[in-house]
Structure formats: structure tokens, C-alpha cells
Amino acid sequence: MSPTPHIAVLGSANMDLVAYVAEAPRRGETVTGREFRTAPGGKGANQAVAAARAGATVTLIGAVGTDAHGSTIRSGLEHSGVDTDLLRTVETPTGTAHIVVDDEGGNAIVVIPGANGTVTALGPGDEGLIASADALLLQLEVPLEGVIAAARAARRHGVRTVLTPAPAQPLPSELLAAIDLLLPNEHEAAALTGIADDPRAAAGALLSQVPEVVITLGSRGSLYAARGTEPITVPAQQVAAVDTTGAGDTFAGTLAVALAEGNSPPDALRWATSAAALAVQRPGASSSMPYRKEIDRAAGQPGAAS
């Protein structure tokens, strides 16, 4: 295990266009919002930023356009310490996410993939980078072909794979066969298993397909399950959430770092929970993500009792 973990991420980079409103409009309704912000996001870029700020060496594999959003995203990633050498620039507009955040911090999101849709295969240098990593983080905002190619490359080189199956969609068996840790939220877990409102049962069903599962449960925390062991639940911290966008990505990136550093799953979950609690108290996705010092202050070292 490297003293400083090296995390590879293959995934999306979006510009988030965020409207803050008291209550999200229903179909056919128009509401007046309070504020509008643009901020770099996308599940791949967010997880990369979370892991880099948590102390890992991180490389993001993906694509942005030649437009201003693309260069803003690239410089934001670099500012957080993410290596963007394998983030390609293509002649397709940068992906955008159109987000409504309500007064309870909840959100609704429409994603326009744009350049993310070009990530259909590994490019030059991608497999070598994945082979040198301690873990590969994947999500589903780039085409499945690209995700499968990356997961298989990781499997060939014995690199641990973590898949956030979001946005939810059916997962082909060739992808699941190359995944070590599946990390859905409760809605994605229900969509994958048909089991709603029973995360333990959903995790049990998912364990027939992958060796380890973490289901995040929003303000109720998270659940870890592995084959042959009793599931463990970790409560969320009681905080006043202002914007939960990117909470799952903060959790994924920091969990991967703590696991790659050799911490036990319960300790890693508690550390990721502290990081996500810090993120939900600030607006934005990657802009809300905490740095290692803040996480350690809030949670103690990942290996320490909390």
C-alpha cells in the first residue's frame, strides 16, 4: 500500500448551473428562485476533488469541451491538486448539470452529457495510469462502454474498483464482474434490486453480484456489507444541511482514500461520514468538499476511534 494513496477516477466533468429556491417547482409551475450559481461538478470530477483534498494523489480520466466551462473545470481540478493530463479536450460542449436546490438542501438534477458522452473507450496512457493506482473510482455519467473498459483494465492489474451506480441504470454482468465495491445511494440500491425501504436486504441481494457493498442513506447515514459478515451501519452527523449536492461524491472519494490507506471499513465509513457532513453544510458540489485537515479535525484520523 502506498503511504500516499494513488486514486484513478474515470468519469464525468460538468458545469453545474444551480438555482436555489424555497421549494422545487412541480410540473407546469413557475417559481421565483433566490439565487443562481455556476460551479464545477460532475460525479467523476467531484470524486476526484474529494479524494485529492483528502490527501491522495489523483488523476481524472474524462473529457471536457473547448469552451469556457471546460477550461474553468480544468483549472478548478488542478487547483484542488487533481492531475488532468488524461482529461481530454474535445470538440463537443462540456457537460452541464441543471440543478434545483430547495430550502431543505435537497436537489433535483438534469444532466446534459456533452463531452462526457465521448468517453467510450480508454485512450493512450489510461490503462498504464489505472495499473499504477491503488483504486479506480467509477460512476455512470459517461457511457457504459468506457466504464466497462476501465473496470476491466483495473481487474487485469489487480486494482480495486469502486462503482457509484449513478444515475441508476441496469448494470451488465460483465461490469459487475469487475467491481469490488458497489456504492449506491438508497434509491439506486432499490432500482438495482427491486427492494425499497430495506437497505440490509438490498445490500444482501447486491452481495450475490459483488463482494462488498456500501449503501448511503442520506441524513440517515450509511450501511456496509461484505460477504460472510454482519452488515455495519454508521449514522450521519446531525448538521444543518444547506446543499447536499455532491454529498455522495464526497463520501465516495474520501472512503476510497481511507480504505487505500489500509483503514478498516467501519473506520473508513466514519471518516467519509464526517467529510460528507462538512460538505452538506456548504453550497455547491466540489466547491463544498473539505480538505484533509478539516476532516481529521472533525473526525480524528481515519484509524482513530470516533
Closer to ligand RIB by Cβ: residue 143 or 231: 143
Closer to ligand RIB by Cβ: residue 161 or 245: 245
Stretch that binds ligand RIB, among 70-78, 86-94, 246-254, 287-295 (CB under 6 A): 246-254
222 binds ligand ATP (CB under 6 A): yes
The answer to whether 249 is a known catalytic residue is yes
254 binds ligand RIB (CB under 6 A): no
Stretch that binds ligand ATP, among 58-66, 87-95, 154-162, 212-220 (CB under 6 A): 212-220
253 binds ligand RIB (CB under 6 A): no
Tell the burial category of 3 from Cβ atoms under 10 Å away from its Cβ (0-12, 13-18, 19+).
exposed
Closer to ligand RIB by Cβ: residue 131 or 217: 217
217 binds ligand ATP (CB under 6 A): yes
The catalytically annotated residue of 134, 249, 267, 296 is 249
246 binds ligand ATP (CB under 6 A): yes
256 binds ligand ATP (CB under 6 A): no
List Cα–Cα distances, 203 to 90, 136, 188, 215, in angstroms.
38, 21, 11, 7
Closer to ligand RIB by Cβ: residue 4 or 169: 169
Q: Taking the complex as a whole, how short is the minimal distance between the CB of residue 15 and ligand RIB, in angstroms?
A: 8
Instruction: Give the max Cα distance, the chain.
Output: 54
Return the HEC string of the chain. Answer: CCCCCEEEEECCCEEEEEEECCCCCCCCCCCCCCEEEEEEECHHHHHHHHHHHCCCEEEEEEEEECCHHHHHHHHHHHHCCEECCCEEEECCCCEEEEEEECCCCCEEEEEECHHHHHCCCCCCCHHHHHHCCCEEEECCCCCHHHHHHHHHHHHHCCCEEEECCCCCCCCCHHHHCCCCEECCEHHHHHHHHCCCCCHHHHHHHHCCCCCEEEEECHHHCEEEEECCCCCEEECCCCCCCCCCCCHHHHHHHHHHHHHHCCCCHHHHHHHHHHHHHHHHCCCCCHHHCCCHHHHHHHHCCCCCCC
Closer to ligand RIB by Cβ: residue 42 or 302: 42
CA distance 191 to 185: 10
244 binds ligand ATP (CB under 6 A): yes
From residue 167 to residue 196, the character string flagging contacts with ligand ATP as x (rule: CB under 6 A) and all else as - is: ------------------x-----------
Q: Find the binding residues for ligand RIB in span 8-47 (CB under 6 A).
A: 14, 16, 41-43, 46
CA distance 163 to 48: 13
Q: Which does 251 bind (CB under 5 to 8 A by kind): ligand ATP, ligand RIB, none?
A: ligand ATP
Stretch that binds ligand ATP, among 47-55, 69-77, 272-280, 288-296 (CB under 6 A): 272-280
Q: Taking the complex as a whole, how short is the minimal distance between the CB of residue 255 and ligand ATP, in angstroms?
A: 10
Nearest 5°: phi and psi at 35? -160, 150
State how far Cα 208 lies from the chain centre.
23
Q: Which does 16 bind (CB under 5 to 8 A by kind): ligand ATP, ligand RIB, none?
A: ligand RIB
The residues that are catalytic are: 249
User: Which residues contact ligand RIB (rule: CB under 6 A)?
Assistant: 14, 16, 41-43, 46, 97, 109, 111, 141, 245-246, 248-249, 285
The site for ligand ATP (CB under 6 A) is made up of: 185, 216-219, 221-222, 236-237, 239, 241, 244-249, 251, 273, 276-277, 280
